[in-house]
Structure 1
């Protein structure tokens, strides 16, 4: 793990030197500032894990430094140093956000305990901030007991307890990140961070700094140090989504980090050792990606120690209705509606649809249906037209396996006529709202009305 850095702020050089010796013996990296203003300047350019500041200093005292840091939304833990007899002032500082205080003359055990507490607090604050962001993005757990998903659950349990690298394959929307999170949550690393990054969403030059971090001055705009995702995930899990979209040159640097378990921030020659479990994912066939020079072969073998292939939703149709019901109930709660379920004909449409967008498409479609239904029972009029188009051929084939093209067209027209009639009935013959329910333009609706209801 990289050494933690502590900034000591005191206007007395001897006090700064004394704390530096004590903290260095504890194997921390130590920097010094002679006053509060100098400390603010250093904190604006560099990231510290902890600040230890004297309470009484000229120009800007410890409380003033603490106030300005909190006004800047800098949550770095702060320990204040006070002389015996002025503990009341230190307690006052804690009201402004100080983590702890230590009293001079220093006792090694007291300093050690206070520093360890403050660093633990800082780590918890960083993790909570990251987790709040992850929760805000939202994600759902697994739903489905099909044989295909039962096999996935077994594979997750098998690999979770190990340090093995995992490569997850699956079409867009199948839940690759859910599998990665499940592996992390079932592993000994569950108490540490799960850090996710989408390699397709970030340009190569920025992705490198996001992964490995950078030092001040590494490039234009690098005004202070930044911790990369590998360091943030130290002790935990790093999920690299869409790995085949990563720049091929950057893949070589990634391979080196995976092999050596160490990295250097951009613009720095200091080696940082990390303990990170890497899980990668791709919606491409990785072997074809190697042929297309989208994925390094050596990186593929390094990541593909354990492979999990997620089935598309169309290959586990017995999970469609449980998933749809789950999403309907969830979105109904979110919108303050009472959930009234899904009508039988709408269920048949959902099961007949091919689901090119997989579970993600189903979740979004059910959210739309809940909005359109206003919390009432979801019918076929609340489903998009492409879902209904898949249903018509399925109905025609089920009723007449030897049906001709002419009879198939008749089935499609019959279903369209039925759906239009239901939509007009639900909207009180309002053509605009009926077209919205059917997910077609008003112009298309008027055309079909003339076709099916002439005169």
Structure 2
């Protein structure tokens, strides 16, 4: 998909704005217009433009004043000044304030395009560096904990990081299994090679085989070109297979052969390709139960579980929740560019006491939803009282129901709340609670939940 890049043109002369618009739209840019400095600043408050093309001389606020305001308020915006006059003093002043460049209207438009491309490259580089910095900060934060169980797990990671032993990560959906797998890769001797993550639940058997092993052109209908599989792509590095308990018996047999021989064959080919990767698997299923049920091969289970690590659910890490809340708030402040002044006391109390069946993923989703809906700078969770999140006293009286009926009642209430929290968006809800979209559809039909979704 081609990158969309936006430019705001600020000029009091309509014909100049139209000329720039035609020139830049022909190059694929998305253009906004403002006929004055005040209008430009108003637009910038509600819509993000990474590049501003601003005339120097305008009625009201001058271009220099607009430049000062933009550079003061928007660190990641580059401004190119435009004028019909080639005054050196004005150019020097603009550059001192922070203008990226300076273009004279009578010059060749190609000069302007060159300046814009330079600014675009700089912004992309800054964005990349910010992503790297954010990733490092994210890693530093998520790889520390005040919880004893999590501390022990993180210490174990350091102990096994340099080995190539297969690792099986256990834990509920949303606890951060991929983050732990990434950490293992980053501290290993394979850290300079690829880290490839696959969620096995997302693919049918045929698609998963093609995704893992690759295929030759013409090997099946729709195989219009050769495809390198993820095992081959991960050569020298680490492959992380999430939801390993979801793969079919057919794929299990082929996967076991790969682990035994360290060779693969692309679909449609009999040529063997050697592969060398560290394997990390994860599941929220009880694989021993799956073995007893005939759904998972026992020999494969013992090949993937050289080391087993169990990640505690968020409800058992209450001492980490406040730090996580602050972490996600800081991240979304940058992403949404919203000035959040505080989080409502009742909302914070709710978040600190909630049990999080969807774990870290659910907490992240809740914070994101509050950011999207926030209009006054105060994060709040409308219609949810903090008292409902408090743990029930284990000594309080409750009616003993048939286990299956009690489980059904819990599932129904849980799904109603999860759907409501995600605006009845089935795809998003399924992702948050760790079900496939099809599984959630089946649950909705089983418990007749559509009446609660209107």
TM-score category, normalised to shorter length: 0.5 to 0.7
Give the C-alpha shift of residue 383 in structure 1. 5.0
Does the 8 Å CA contact 1:342/1:378 hold for their aligned counterparts? yes
Does the 8 Å CA contact 2:244/2:283 hold for their aligned counterparts? yes
In structure 2, the residue matched to 1:428 is: none
Q: Distance in 1 between matches of 2:166 and 2:226?
A: 29
- Judged with a 3 Å threshold, the aligned counterparts in structure 2 of structure 1 residues 254 and 205 are, in CA distance, closer, same or farther, namely same
Q: Distance in 2 between matches of 1:359 and 1:304?
A: 24
In structure 2, the residue matched to 1:423 is: none
Does the 8 Å CA contact 1:314/1:354 hold for their aligned counterparts? yes
- Judged with a 3 Å threshold, the aligned counterparts in structure 2 of structure 1 residues 384 and 242 are, in CA distance, closer, same or farther, namely farther
In structure 2, the residue matched to 1:262 is: 263
Do residues 212 (structure 1) and 231 (structure 2) align? no
Give the C-alpha shift of residue 340 in structure 1. 2.4
In structure 1, the residue matched to 2:163 is: 162
- Judged with a 3 Å threshold, the aligned counterparts in structure 2 of structure 1 residues 215 and 403 are, in CA distance, closer, same or farther, namely closer
Do residues 362 (structure 1) and 331 (structure 2) align? no
In structure 1, the residue matched to 2:319 is: 318
Does the 8 Å CA contact 1:199/1:243 hold for their aligned counterparts? yes
Matching of residues 257-336 of structure 1 within 5 Å: 257-336=258-337
- For 1:90-127, what per-residue CA distance to the aligned partner results, in whole angstroms no more than 9, with x for missing partners? xxxxxxxxxxxxxxxxxxxxxxxxxxxxxxxxxxxxxx
Q: How many residues align?
A: 268
In structure 1, the residue matched to 2:183 is: 182
Structure number, greater radius of gyration? 1
Does the 8 Å CA contact 2:347/2:386 hold for their aligned counterparts? no
Matching of residues 2-21 of structure 1 within 5 Å: none
Runs (4+) of structure 1 exceeding 6 A deviation are: 401-405
Give the C-alpha shift of residue 308 in structure 1. 0.8
- Judged with a 3 Å threshold, the aligned counterparts in structure 2 of structure 1 residues 273 and 369 are, in CA distance, closer, same or farther, namely same
Q: Distance in 1 between matches of 2:228 and 2:158?
A: 31
- Judged with a 3 Å threshold, the aligned counterparts in structure 2 of structure 1 residues 144 and 218 are, in CA distance, closer, same or farther, namely same
Q: Distance in 2 between matches of 1:269 and 1:404?
A: 63
Q: Distance in 1 between matches of 2:385 and 2:228?
A: 46
- Judged with a 3 Å threshold, the aligned counterparts in structure 2 of structure 1 residues 384 and 149 are, in CA distance, closer, same or farther, namely farther
- Judged with a 3 Å threshold, the aligned counterparts in structure 2 of structure 1 residues 164 and 386 are, in CA distance, closer, same or farther, namely farther
Give the C-alpha shift of residue 341 in structure 1. 3.4
In structure 2, the residue matched to 1:27 is: none
In structure 2, the residue matched to 1:347 is: 348
Does the 8 Å CA contact 2:346/2:385 hold for their aligned counterparts? no
TM-score for both structures, normalised by structure 2 = 0.54
SS of structure 1 residue aligned to 2:343: coil
Does the 8 Å CA contact 1:369/1:383 hold for their aligned counterparts? no
SS of structure 2 residue aligned to 1:200: helix
Q: Distance in 2 between matches of 1:316 and 1:371?
A: 27
In structure 2, the residue matched to 1:145 is: 146
In structure 2, the residue matched to 1:45 is: none
- For 1:8-47, what per-residue CA distance to the aligned partner results, in whole angstroms no more than 9, with x for missing partners? xxxxxxxxxxxxxxxxxxxxxxxxxxxxxxxxxxxxxxxx
- For 1:105-158, what per-residue CA distance to the aligned partner results, in whole angstroms no more than 9, with x for missing partners? xxxxxxxxxxxxxxxxxxxxxxxxxxx9xx89x985316322122112112112
Structure 2 residues without counterparts, runs of 5 or longer: 1-127, 400-419, 425-454
Matching of residues 432-451 of structure 1 within 5 Å: none
- Judged with a 3 Å threshold, the aligned counterparts in structure 2 of structure 1 residues 303 and 243 are, in CA distance, closer, same or farther, namely same
Does the 8 Å CA contact 1:241/1:280 hold for their aligned counterparts? yes
Do residues 228 (structure 1) and 229 (structure 2) align? yes
Does the 8 Å CA contact 1:329/1:339 hold for their aligned counterparts? no
Does the 8 Å CA contact 2:349/2:386 hold for their aligned counterparts? no
Does the 8 Å CA contact 1:262/1:273 hold for their aligned counterparts? yes
In structure 1, the residue matched to 2:388 is: 389
TM-score for both structures, normalised by structure 1 = 0.54
- Judged with a 3 Å threshold, the aligned counterparts in structure 2 of structure 1 residues 299 and 373 are, in CA distance, closer, same or farther, namely same
Does the 8 Å CA contact 1:332/1:375 hold for their aligned counterparts? no
Give the C-alpha shift of residue 254 in structure 1. 0.2
Does the 8 Å CA contact 2:243/2:281 hold for their aligned counterparts? yes
Larger mean CA deviation between 139-148 and 356-365 belongs to 139-148
SS of structure 2 residue aligned to 1:385: coil
Give the C-alpha shift of residue 315 in structure 1. 0.6
SS of structure 1 residue aligned to 2:201: coil
